[in-house]
Chains A and B, each alone.
Chain A
């Protein structure tokens, strides 16, 4: 009787923090998701062609869209599935890829500086800003949001994402493991 109980207890942390992945049969694009301590985080690949098309349709030049598409882009969803308010700051998140120290996600402000230097139109920059995942946000139970995040990882390369949030004066974190950057021809 004791052995199964101990086994379950030993396995519990891995069940709670497990990263689930799936592939969309229609698009071939992959999604990684984890639920931990009342927070659900999901990353879905956005292919380079999709990123190019999306931003060109919003007024970016082919060169500027190419600059964005050269990054590894993911649709990012965070959902408060618990019963307490949470808050998070993207600046606290880190991603780890082989041979690199932990890195932070490029902020909207950093992108804005790049777009101003590239002479991107204001309307395109406004659309860009709102299409990115919010810099910081507070979520009541049931709230959620989505937006794009970018990672400087080679095509087909892997990384782990450590996400951080606060609830009731406690800082918590979780991890999405072995997330894969979309290939050029996904």
Chain B
């Protein structure tokens, strides 16, 4: 029995509406890493965007806190896969001077909210909107996802390219050490 092409196309369109094609979501997915690359501390570039509720977030106002900045997009499979671990990390460090910021690149609020509504996890950290990808050049981001760790002095001290399990003990340990400094 041949399935009509229009049904196949509609099904594919639905599966591709948010994420990359099914091939990229098959069982044999590239594993998420748990390494952070320690960098020579350098002052973080400006980062100032509104979140989904229209509230402005400015990295410069977060001095005294350790900040995890994750550049992502809803269509990026590893970005989607690492998002729940960012929430678990946030819960693990609740009450500490730690903030996670997820900066969505190139998408509108409706697209992001559709994605969030499909997650099993409720995200408590802010999702910032860089609809035109303006921050990518200043932060030297070549691909998504890319993540930076900013210390209490506002300096980039570590980075990660590609999907991560953010609540992995090694990453939590690195952040705890920064929190104690």
Residues of B105-146 whose CB lies within 8 A of A: 105-108, 131-133, 142-144
Question: Is A44 an interface residue when CB atoms closer than 8 A count as contact?
Answer: yes
- The residue that B143 contacts in the complex, of A26, A58, A137, A140, with Cβ under 8 A, is A137
With an 8 Å Cβ cutoff, the count of chain B residues facing the other chain is: 40
1/0 per position for B10-43, CB-CB distance to A under 8 A?
0011011100111110111010011101000000
A24 & B27 in contact (Cβ 8 Å cutoff): yes
Question: Is B9 an interface residue when CB atoms closer than 8 A count as contact?
Answer: yes
B24 & A126 in contact (Cβ 8 Å cutoff): no
A53-B143 contact, Cβ under 8 Å, with A75-B20, A123-B106, A139-B161: no
Question: Which single residue of chain B is at the shortest CB-CB distance from A126?
Answer: B106
A145-B21 contact, Cβ under 8 Å, with A54-B16, A130-B133, A134-B143: no
Question: Is A63 an interface residue when CB atoms closer than 8 A count as contact?
Answer: no
Cα A140 to Cα B16 with chains together (Å):
31
B162 & A44 in contact (Cβ 8 Å cutoff): no
Question: Is B8 an interface residue when CB atoms closer than 8 A count as contact?
Answer: yes
What DSSP secondary structure best describes chain B's contact surface?
Answer: loop
The stretch of B72-80, B84-92, B95-103 that contacts the partner chain: B72-80
1/0 per position for B150-165, CB-CB distance to A under 8 A?
0000000001111100
- The minimal Cβ–Cβ distance linking B126 to chain A, given in whole angstroms, is 21
Instruction: Place the interface of chain A in its size category.
Output: 35 or more
B13 & A144 in contact (Cβ 8 Å cutoff): no
Residues of A within 8 A of B160 (CB): 142-143
A49 & B12 in contact (Cβ 8 Å cutoff): yes
Residues of B within 8 A of A31 (CB): 23, 28
A127 & B16 in contact (Cβ 8 Å cutoff): no
B23 & A24 in contact (Cβ 8 Å cutoff): yes
Which among B21, B26, B78, B108 has the greatest number of chain A C-beta atoms within 10 A? B21
Question: Is A135 an interface residue when CB atoms closer than 8 A count as contact?
Answer: yes
Residues of A44-97 whose CB lies within 8 A of B: 44-47, 49-54, 56-58, 75, 77, 79
A146-B105 contact, Cβ under 8 Å, with A49-B8, A75-B24, A79-B162: no
Residues of B within 8 A of A50 (CB): 12, 16, 21-23
- The residue that A79 contacts in the complex, of B24, B30, B131, B144, with Cβ under 8 A, is B30
Residues of A135-179 whose CB lies within 8 A of B: 135-137, 139-147
- Residues of B near any A CB (own CB < 8 A): 8-9, 12-13, 15-17, 20-24, 26-28, 30, 33-35, 37, 73, 75-78, 105-108, 131-133, 142-144, 159-163
- Residues of A near any B CB (own CB < 8 A): 22, 24, 26-27, 29, 31, 42, 44-47, 49-54, 56-58, 75, 77, 79, 122-123, 126-127, 129-131, 133-137, 139-147
Other than the given A58-B75, A139-B161, 16 more pairs (CB < 8 A) read A22-B28, A24-B26, A31-B23, A50-B23, A51-B21, A53-B12, A53-B17, A54-B75, A131-B75, A136-B142, A137-B142, A142-B35, A144-B30, A144-B162, A146-B77, A146-B78
